[in-house]
């Protein structure tokens, strides 16, 4: 796990070592254990690297690294989990190695099989740049699920690339213009979905793709692994026997966890007490000869605390557990760091506890395993359970009636709905009482006017469902970026379609981005065994009847977990890594928020409609609405805008 940066300049030009080192230095947090710079003999190609030593801690594992033939030089971020098997195959063909690193194995594979053929055989998380001196070509590539980031820019007849956006800005020496498309999508989703970035002229390489730069031209990204192909192949070979599916799922997860426990430095795990992280930790502990080190974050606010559940699971499994309770004061201390941690505007409030739990874990370990990906693969989000039935029924109601119902449901405040559910709790079955009921009722009201499945999904995942209402007109970009990319496959069931969308958007640019930036900020490597591509491909062979059953998701994954953890410890309403941002903004964060939402400031900067911002803020403070999510989206942009001006 490291950070990479680099450039290829035009014929006749030469790489500035000073600029390349400046790029590399701003991602030093990704690799605090070492720094490397390589510049080609003609001066046209430069690769930078920051090293976090995980496998082979000796200098023999340092990068950039050149292959034995001298043809290939690579700067690489990530881990190749099947490097041992690849090494054995290469050794049997005559290759010899001088280190125990996965980087050297990768380079030997490039020599033996070529770059394209090798990439398709790599199992792991990675972003890489490799120079082919024979073909005078530079390849950039990203892992199948987008676990590791890679930004790039082609400008002024040169290619620049890096693990984080700021490195490209440092190379350019000035701030690029804000992208209207990136800003619109950010307001809608709370993150900037790829391949766009918040800046014009800088893009993200899509997951599962590579691109080749030669003779001053970068090819279009070419997919070596497509989610659509995985879905089609899996559904063409559906599993029919539940016992066989359960046993095989455990085998795949056991193997994925085992491969990702290989480390030459201390290793632990994030444990929220939910299904996904509990499954990962259970399989880790089953394969460990000592207690696994586990880490969790809790909140004092009612309805947001999962720490007690994590502690119960930890006690049952016998892990060495550490927990930290987060207050709004802790949040206030982290907030000024967020633009530097996340590079782009990023407004998932769980970024705060994710950073804090990463910081907590880094005090004890250098590598952690995380449970991310389970919701998208095994139908874990609540919206997967009700949306199909809801969409069918929604289409039967005239649009005017739906709009009327939406107004009626949203009229009482979320707090009023919470109070209603609390009074009704003794009379209702347990599964009729969701966590944070007021927020869910208001969310339900917001989706009633939806005109298509995609529109329904977009509203469900949106912060500002219609960014046009809050953006200055000149910054509004019409159209859904990810809708244009993904489209809609009517051959899939509604939950399956949602899972595909989420895997290619929300998972990549929110969940994985959040974990990567938070963990790497403190020099911690986070691994995600549920996103081993073999597990992903197998998961799409599991029919929906084994994922959603009796109104709840993750059915098959739960059955596997029950083999290791008592059902009573994990069978509870899904909460997620939620943060009490609504209460915080009305409490100790109020004055801070007011500074960034001040009307004169909004007008001067010119991005947002000051009247809409003021009304939303006032209604939130009164408790008439809970607008913590949309307001946090504005606040994170405002804070980013202030900090980004200091980058150059």
Q: What is the pLDDT of residues 432-463, one digit of tens each?
A: 566 557 767 777 777 777 777 877 888 888 89
Q: HSE-up of 410 (CA within 13 Å, CB side)? A: 18
Annotated active-site residue in 2, 130, 565, 610: 2
Residue range 596-624, pLDDT digits in tens: 999 999 999 999 999 999 999 998 998 87
Contacts of 473 (CB under 8 A, 6+ apart): none
Average pLDDT of the residues in 256-265: 94
Count of CB atoms within 10 A of residue 273's CB? 25
Q: Measuring CA to CA, which residue among 73, 117, 122 is closest to residue 102? A: 122
Average pLDDT of the residues in 296-305: 70
CB 634 within 8 Å of CB 613:
yes
CB 30 within 8 Å of CB 59:
no
Helix segments in 369-465, DSSP class H: 374-378, 382-394, 399-410, 414-424, 437-447, 453-461
pLDDT of 155 above 90: no
Give the pLDDT confidence score for residue 431 in this predicted structure.
57
Q: Measuring CA to CA, which residue among 464, 403, 407 is closest to residue 627? A: 464
Contacts of 392 (CB under 8 A, 6+ apart): none
Pairing verdict, β 293-299 and 320-326: parallel
Q: Measuring CA to CA, which residue among 350, 334, 341 is closest to residue 299? A: 350
CB 518 within 8 Å of CB 341:
yes
Q: How far apart are the first and last CA of the chain?
A: 27
Query: 18-32, 194-208, 371-385, 430-444: which range is least confident on average?
Result: 430-444
2 is catalytic: yes
Reported as a pLDDT band with limits 50, 70 and 90, residue 481 is low
Q: Measuring CA to CA, which residue among 442, 480, 456, 458 is closest to residue 627? A: 442
Pairing verdict, β 217-218 and 124-132: unpaired
Q: Measuring CA to CA, which residue among 170, 131, 213 is closest to residue 20? A: 170
Q: Categorise residue 208: left if φ over 0, alpha if ψ from -120 to 50, beta otherwise.
A: left
Percent of the chain with pLDDT over 90: 71
- Cα dist. 589→67, 333, 465, 621, 632 in Å? 53, 11, 25, 12, 11
Residue range 327-362, pLDDT digits in tens: 878 888 999 999 999 999 999 999 999 999 999 999
Reported as a pLDDT band with limits 50, 70 and 90, residue 298 is confident
Q: Is 78 exposed, middle or buried (0-12, 13-18, 19+ CB in 10 A)?
A: buried
Give the pLDDT confidence score for residue 437 in this predicted structure.
73
Give the pLDDT confidence score for residue 573 in this predicted structure.
63
What is the biggest distance separating any 2 CA atoms in the chain, rounded to whole angstroms? Answer: 78
Count of CB atoms within 10 A of residue 234's CB? 18
Give the DSSP per-residue string, 561-615: HTTTS-HHHH-S----S---HHHHHHTTTHHHHHHHH-HHHHHHH-SB-HHHHHH
Give phi and psi for 525, each to the nearest 5: -90, 125
Tokens describing residue 453: 């499945």
Distance between CA 422 and CA 155 in Å, rounded?
58
Helix segments in 46-163, DSSP class H: 83-92, 102-113, 115-119
Domains and CATH numbers, the chain: 2-225 (3.60.20.10), 230-378+497-570 (3.40.50.620), 580-648 (no CATH)
Residue range 163-217, pLDDT digits in tens: 999 999 999 999 999 999 999 999 999 999 999 999 999 999 999 999 999 999 9
Distance between CA 333 and CA 337 in Å, rounded?
8
> What's the gap between Cα 391 and its chain centre?
28
Give the pLDDT confidence score for residue 2 in this predicted structure.
87
Percent of the chain with pLDDT over 70: 95
Residue range 528-567, pLDDT digits in tens: 999 999 999 999 999 999 999 988 899 999 999 999 999 9
CB 501 within 8 Å of CB 457:
yes
CB 438 within 8 Å of CB 626:
yes
Pairing verdict, β 267-270 and 367-369: parallel
Average pLDDT of the residues in 138-159: 96
The DSSP secondary-structure symbol of 552 reads B
CB 369 within 8 Å of CB 280:
yes
pLDDT of 490 above 80: no
Q: What is the dihedral of CA 248, 253, 255, 261, to 10 degrees?
A: -170
Give the pLDDT confidence score for residue 428 in this predicted structure.
66
Contacts of 588 (CB under 8 A, 6+ apart): 328, 329, 332
Average pLDDT of the residues in 17-29: 96
Reported as a pLDDT band with limits 50, 70 and 90, residue 58 is confident
Reported as a pLDDT band with limits 50, 70 and 90, residue 519 is very high
CB 414 within 8 Å of CB 626:
yes
* DSSP E strand stretches across 230-301: 267-270, 293-299
CB 323 within 8 Å of CB 297:
yes
Distance between CA 406 and CA 408 in Å, rounded?
5
Tokens 């043809």 belong to which residue? Answer: 71
Tokens 């890489």 belong to which residue? Answer: 128
Q: Measuring CA to CA, which residue among 42, 220, 217 is closest to residue 133? A: 42
Query: 210-224, 286-300, 417-431, 605-619: which range is least confident on average?
Result: 417-431
């Amino acid at each position: 796990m490291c950070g990479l940066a680099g450039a290829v300049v035009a014929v006749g030009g030469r790489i500035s070592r000073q600029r390349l080192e400046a790029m590399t230095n701003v991602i030093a947090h990704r690799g605090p254990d070492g720094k490397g710079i390589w510049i080609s003999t003609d001066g046209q190609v430069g690769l930078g690297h920051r090293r976090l030593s995980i496998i082979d801690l000796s200098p023999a594992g340092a990068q950039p690294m050149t292959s034995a033939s001298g043809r290939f030089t690579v700067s690489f971020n990530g881990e190749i989990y099947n490097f041992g098997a690849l090494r054995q195959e290469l050794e049997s063909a005559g290759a010899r190695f001088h280190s125990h690193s996965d980087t050297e194995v990768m380079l030997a594979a490039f020599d033996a099989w070529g770059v394209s053929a090798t990439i398709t055989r790599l199992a792991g998380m990675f972003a890489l740049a490799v120079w082919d001196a024979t073909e005078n070509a530079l390849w950039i590539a990203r892992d199948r699920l987008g676990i590791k980031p890679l930004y790039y820019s082609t400008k002024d007849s040169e290619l620049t690339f890096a693990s984080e956006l700021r490195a490209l800005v440092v190379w350019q020496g000035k701030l690029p213009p804000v992208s209207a498309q990136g800003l619109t999508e950010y307001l809608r989703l709370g993150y900037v979905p790829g391949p766009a970035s918040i800046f014009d002229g800088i893009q993200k390489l899509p997951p599962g793709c590579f691109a080749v730069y030669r003779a001053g031209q970068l090819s279009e990204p070419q997919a070596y692994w497509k989610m659509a192909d995985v879905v089609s192949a899996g559904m063409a070979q559906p599993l029919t026997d539940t016992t066989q599916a359960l046993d095989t799922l455990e085998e795949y997860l056991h193997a994925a966890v085992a491969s990702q426990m290989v480390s030459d430095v201390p290793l632990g795990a994030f444990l929220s007490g939910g299904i996904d992280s509990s499954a990962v930790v259970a399989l880790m502990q089953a394969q460990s000869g000592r207690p696994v080190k586990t880490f969790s974050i809790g909140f004092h606010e009612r309805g947001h605390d999962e720490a007690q559940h994590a502690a119960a699971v930890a006690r049952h499994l016998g892990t060495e557990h550490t927990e930290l309770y987060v207050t709004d004061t802790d949040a206030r201390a982290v907030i000024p760091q967020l633009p530097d941690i996340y590079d782009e505007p990023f407004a998932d409030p769980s970024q705060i506890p994710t950073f804090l739990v990463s910081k907590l874990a880094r005090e004890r370990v250098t590598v952690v395993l995380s449970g991310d990906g389970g919701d998208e693969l095994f139908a874990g989000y609540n919206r997967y359970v009700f949306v199909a039935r809801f969409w069918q029924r929604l289409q039967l109601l005239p649009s005017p009636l739906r709009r009327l119902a939406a107004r009626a449901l949203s009229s009482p405040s979320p707090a009023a709905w919470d109070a209603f559910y609390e009074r009704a709790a003794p009379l209702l079955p347990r599964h009729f009482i969701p966590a944070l009921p007021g927020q869910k009722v208001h969310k339900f009201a917001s989706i009633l006017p939806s005109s298509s499945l995609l529109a329904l999904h977009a509203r469900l995942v949106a912060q500002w469902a219609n960014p046009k209402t809050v953006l200055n007109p000149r910054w509004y970009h019409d159209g859904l970026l990810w809708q244009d990319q993904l489209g809609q496959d009517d051959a899939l069931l509604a939950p399956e379609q949602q899972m595909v969308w989420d895997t290619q958007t929300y998972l990549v640019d929110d969940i994985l981005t959040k974990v990567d930036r938070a963990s790497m900020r403190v020099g911690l490597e986070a691994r995600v065994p549920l996103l081993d591509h073999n597990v992903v491909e197998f998961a799409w062979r599991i029919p929906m009847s084994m994922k959603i059953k009796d109104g709840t998701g993750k059915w098959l994954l739960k059955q596997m977990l029950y083999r290791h953890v008592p059902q009573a410890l994990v069978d509870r309403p899904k909460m997620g890594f939620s943060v009490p941002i609504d209460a915080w903004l009305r409490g100790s964060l109020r004055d801070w928020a007011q500074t960034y939402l001040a009307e004169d400031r909004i007008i001067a900067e010119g991005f947002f409609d000051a009247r809409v911002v003021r009304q939303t803020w006032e209604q939130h403070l009164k408790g008439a609405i809970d607008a913590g999510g949309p307001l946090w989206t504005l606040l994170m942009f405002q804070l980013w805008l202030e900090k980004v001006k200091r980058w150059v």
